[in-house]
Every structure is written in C-alpha cells, then in structure tokens.
C-alpha cells in the first residue's frame, strides 16, 4: 500500500502539527514534574500522557479510515447518546484532581473520562448535519433556532456540572459552525447580542449605549428581519441584562473571584489573584529565551498553580521564554490555517461545518487558556489542546483530529 493512499499521511501538515503539539505537551508535562520538592501529583505523569498519546495516534489512524458519510449518518444518535451520558454524569459524576467540586467525570472500568469532551464532538457532528441541510445557509434568525437548541442542550448540562470552561467551548462550536454555514455577519452579531448584553450589564451607562446601538442596527437591517425576530432579539437582550445580577449572585464565590481578579488581581491575593499574579510573574520572568527547559523557578518552587494542566502555558513562558510561547502560538496558527484550508477544499457542507466547529473548540481553548496566563482573559478552568495534562482531553482532541482527517480522505 502506498503511503500516499493513507489520509493521515497525505495530510501530514495537519497531523504533523497535531503530533508536534502533543509531543511538545508531553515534554512540558515532564518539565512540570521537575521540582525542588517532588510532588506525587506531577512527578512521572508525563509517562501516562505519552501512553495516552500513543493510543491516540492509533485511534486517529483508525478513525481516518472511516468514511465521513458514516459519521453524518450516526451524528444524531451519537449526539443523543452523549446528551444522555451528560445527564447521567450530573447524577453520578465526580470531580477529579483540580476540579474537585464538579461533577464532570465518569469512571468506567477504572478509567476516568469527561463526557463533556466527547459531547463537543457529537454536538459538532449534529450541528454540522443540521446546518448542512440548507445549502443557502441560515438566512433568518429563525433558521438558527434549531442550531441554538442543539448546542444549548449540552451547554446547559455542562453549566450545571458546573464547568464554565467547557461551556465556553460549546459557544465556540456554535459560532464557528454557523459562520461556515454561511450565516451573514449581522445575523451572527444579533445572535451573540444577548451574551454581550449580559457582560455589559455591569454598568447601566455602557449597557444603555449598547442597547441603543443594537436598536439602530436592527433598524438598518430591518428589511432582512421579521418583526418577531427583531422583537425576539430585543427581548433576549433585555432578559440577559435583567438576569445578569441574579446570575452573578448564583455564581460560586471562586467563580466571582476569578472574574473580579481579572479586573484587579489585588482583590484576592491569596486565592484567584495569587494564581494570576504567579502566572504573570512566571511568564514575565521568562524573558526572551526563558530560564531553560525544566529550570523555571516559579514552577520548581510551586509558586505556579495547576502547572501541568490549566497553567501549563505559564511553564512554557517561564522556561522557553517569548521564543517558546510565540513558537507554540505559531504552530497552533498553522494548524488552524490548515483546517481552514481543508474546509475550503470540501465541496461537502457537512465536513466543512464540522471542521469549523472543531476549529471553534480549539481556538476558544487556546485563546482563553493562553490569555488567562497573562491576565487578558479571566481565569477559566479550560485546558490547552494537545498540551495540557489529561488523558480523556488529549484522546478526544485526537479523535476530533481523526474525524477531520477522515473527512479529508478524498481531498487532495
């Protein structure tokens, strides 16, 4: 068999980037375990990550052999199955490691995994299938009702765990998918507007200005909207503005602190502010070339929190410096560009939308995770794809990559 016949080999720029990031991740996880006072939590875990990586490579090779038609056919059943598992997780799920207070893990035959990770893929599949049915793309807001519902269901279940980080990824899936499905930009903005309304409601003045500009936008775009849709947007915005306060009150203290310290790290210097400040110190003190692989003092001396999972990029910053961080971001950028290129090459709407949905997940993860290490994004418990420690997360990222490669089997 010619190597050229294998989709994963033919798309080596994509698989190569994924593999490079994963190997880089294993190396950084190894470094996270090198400390002055060894900790059983981080020591030697790189071996487990490497084993999962080997398995993930096999999974990718296997999945890439399955025709994408099969996934299109299975999309809805898989989606429903994962919804069911998510619902079960809410009841019998457990926390794990650093996410002790959540119910986001299921233990099956001794293996812990996060159903939320799998649900991202099945949701992407279901959303792709739904949106692909209409070659003209969503032209009206009502065309987006079903897509919102498809994403909203798992999102709600994840929020209840509560796992806001994963929930954010679903938002990424949604917007990436409807974008590739051809939704006009104004429509995307209107859909996003209740979220903006929620965020901006902290200040009456800002929210009022925003609301006015929203009305103006709706008026300009009036010939493309039904009256009921316009009203729906307005009502949704009003509702979002109104529930902001109760929603804020319902947040856990640590979640509020994460948002507050984002605005002012001094508010909670021992808790969430500590994480942010120490991460900034680690990244900043890395300088241009870094302190050297495994030699980061912030990491070695345990000043860095969650250094093998959510804050692994701080270790990259401290030990490999600006060279390391920008190189990692360039590799991610390359990966994303390859995915855009694939989607562009697909004649088939389903495959293109799916690739974009996965791109949405990964981009959200990268921006939020990397952004929080330097304090430009609030701290959210969201891992860095391919690099952060975590078996089910790595595996599921590779599964998604396998599906992408499988769909690209016919693309030259």
Partner 1 sequence: MNKYHHHQRRLRAVQARIFVMTLLGLLVAVFFRAQVYRSADWSLQSESNRLRPLTLPAPRGTIRDRAGLPLADNVPGYSVSILSAVPDSMLSTLERMRQYLQIDGDRYRRLEEQARAGGPQPILVSVDAPFEAVAAIEERRAMFPRVLIETRPKRRYPVGEIGAHVIGSVGEINQAELDSPEFEGAEPGLIVGRSGIEWQYESTLQGEAGVRYVEVDATGRIVGSFRGFRRVEERPGQDLDLHLDRELMEWIHHIFPEGMGGAVVALEVETGGILALYSAPSYDPNVFAGVVDQEEWDRLNRDPQSPLFNRTISAKYPPGSPMKLITALVALEAGVITPSDRMPVACGGGYSYGGRLWRCWREEGHGSLDLADAIKNSCNVYFYQVGLRIGLARMLERVNDMGFGGRCGVDLPSEAAGTYPEGPEFWVRRYGYSPREGEVLNLAIGQGPIEQTPLMVAQYFLAVARDGSAPAPTLYRGAPPREGFRFDVSEEALEVVREGLRRVTQQGGTAYLSSLEHFDLLGKTGTAQSVERRETHAWFGATAGLRGGEPEIVVVALVEFGGGGSEVAAPLVARAADFYLRGQHGIPRDTIQTLRDYINARRNTAWALPTPEAR
Q: Which residues bind partner 1 (CB under 8 A)?
A: 36-37, 135-137, 179-182, 278, 280-288, 297-298, 300-303, 317, 321-322, 325-326, 329-330, 332-333, 336-337, 340-341, 343-344, 347, 349, 352, 356, 359, 363, 366-367, 370-371, 374, 376
CA distance 138 to 351: 17
Please report how many Cα atoms fall inside a 13 Å half-sphere around the Cα of residue 136, on the Cβ side: 4
- Reading the block at residue 380, the tokens are 């959210």
Distance CA 77, CA 146 (A): 16
Give the residue with the Cβ less far from partner 1, 149 or 376: 376
The CB-of-284 to partner 1 minimum distance in angstroms stands at 2
108: part of which helix (H) or strand (E)? strand 106-108
Q: CA-to-CA distance for 60 and 271, rounded, in angstroms?
A: 40
Asked whether the beta carbons of 307 and 315 are under 8 A apart, the reply is: yes
- Asked whether the beta carbons of 129 and 350 are under 8 A apart, the reply is yes
CB nearer to partner 1: give 167 or 282: 282
How far is it, in rounded angstroms, from Cα 115 to Cα 102? Answer: 13
Residue 13 φ/ψ, nearest 5 degrees: -60, -40
Q: How far is the CB of 277 from partner 1 (least distance, A)?
A: 8
Min CB(43)–partner 1 separation in Å: 15
**CB nearer to partner 1: pick between 152 and 333:** 333
Residue 48 Cβ vs partner 1, minimum distance, rounded to whole Å:
25
Minimum CB separation of residue 315 from partner 1 in Å reads 13
DSSP state of 113: E
What length is written for the chain?
412
| Minimum separation from the CB atom of position 180 to partner 1 (A) | 6
Q: Phi first, then psi: what are they for 58, rounded to 5°?
A: -60, -45
Element (H, E) at 76: helix 68-92
To the nearest 10 degrees (0 to 180), the angle between helices 185-200 and 204-220 is: 160
Shortest distance (Å) from residue 345 CB to partner 1: 8
Of 146 and 336, which CB lies nearer to partner 1 in the complex structure?
A: 336
The encoded tokens of residue 98 equal: 């650093």
Token reading at 209? 């200005």
How many angstroms separate the most distant Cα atoms in the chain? 67
For partner 1, which is the closer residue by CB, 132 or 399?
132
Contact 347, 408 (CB under 8 A): no
Least Å distance, CB 321 to partner 1, is: 6
> CB-wise, 98 or 302, nearer to partner 1?
302
**Smallest separation, CB 316 to partner 1 (Å):** 10
Rounded to 10°, the helix 312-345/391-407 angle is 20
Query: How many whole angstroms from its chain centre is CA 98?
Result: 18
**Which token pair is 241?**
């503005």
Q: Which residue lies nearer to partner 1 by CB, 158 or 355?
A: 355
């Amino acid at each position: 068999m010619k190597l050229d016949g294998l989709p994963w080999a033919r798309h080596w720029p994509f698989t190569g980037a994924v593999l490079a990031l994963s190997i880089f991740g294993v190396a950084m996880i190894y470094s996270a375990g090198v400390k002055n006072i060894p900790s059983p939590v981080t020591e030697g875990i790189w071996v487990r990550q490497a084993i999962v990586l080997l398995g993930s490579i096999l999974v990718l090779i296997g999945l890439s052999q399955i025709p994408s038609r099969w996934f299109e056919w299975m999309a809805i059943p898989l989606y429903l199955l994962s919804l069911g598992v998510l619902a079960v997780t809410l009841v019998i799920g457990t926390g794990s490691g650093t996410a002790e207070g959540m119910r986001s893990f299921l233990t099956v035959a001794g293996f812990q995994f996060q159903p939320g990770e799998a649900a991202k893929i099945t949701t992407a599949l279901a959303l792709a299938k739904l949106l692909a049915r209409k070659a003209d793309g969503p032209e009206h807001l009502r065309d987006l009702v079903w897509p919102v519902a498809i994403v909203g269901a798992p999102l709600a279940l994840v929020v209840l765990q509560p796992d806001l980080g994963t929930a954010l990824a679903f938002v990424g899936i949604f917007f990436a998918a409807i974008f590739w499905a051809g939704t006009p930009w104004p429509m995307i903005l209107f859909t996003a507007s209740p979220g903006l309304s929620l965020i901006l409601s902290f200040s009456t003045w800002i929210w009022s200005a925003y609301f006015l500009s929203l009305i103006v936008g709706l008026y300009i775009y009036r010939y493309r909207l039904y009256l009921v849709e316009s009203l729906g947007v307005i009502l949704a915005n009003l509702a979002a503005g109104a529930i902001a306060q109760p929603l804020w009150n319902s947040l856990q203290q640590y979640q509020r602190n994460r948002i507050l310290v984002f605005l002012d790290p001094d508010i909670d210097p021992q808790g969430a502010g500590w994480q942010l400040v120490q991460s900034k110190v680690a990244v900043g003190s890395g300088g241009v070339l870094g302190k050297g692989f495994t030699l980061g003092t912030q990491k070695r001396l345990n000043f860095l929190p969650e250094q093998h999972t959510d804050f692994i990029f701080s270790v990259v910053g401290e030990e490999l410096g600006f060279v390391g961080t920008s190189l990692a971001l360039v590799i991610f950028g390359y990966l994303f560009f390859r995915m855009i290129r694939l989607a562009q090459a697909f004649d088939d709407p389903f495959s293109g939308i799916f690739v974009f949905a996965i791109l949405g997940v990964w981009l959200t993860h990268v921006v939020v995770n990397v952004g929080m290490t330097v304090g430009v994004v609030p701290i959210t418990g969201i891992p860095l794809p391919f690099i952060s420690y975590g078996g089910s997360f790595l595996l599921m990222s590779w599964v998604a990559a396998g599906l992408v490669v499988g769909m690209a089997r016919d693309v030259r």
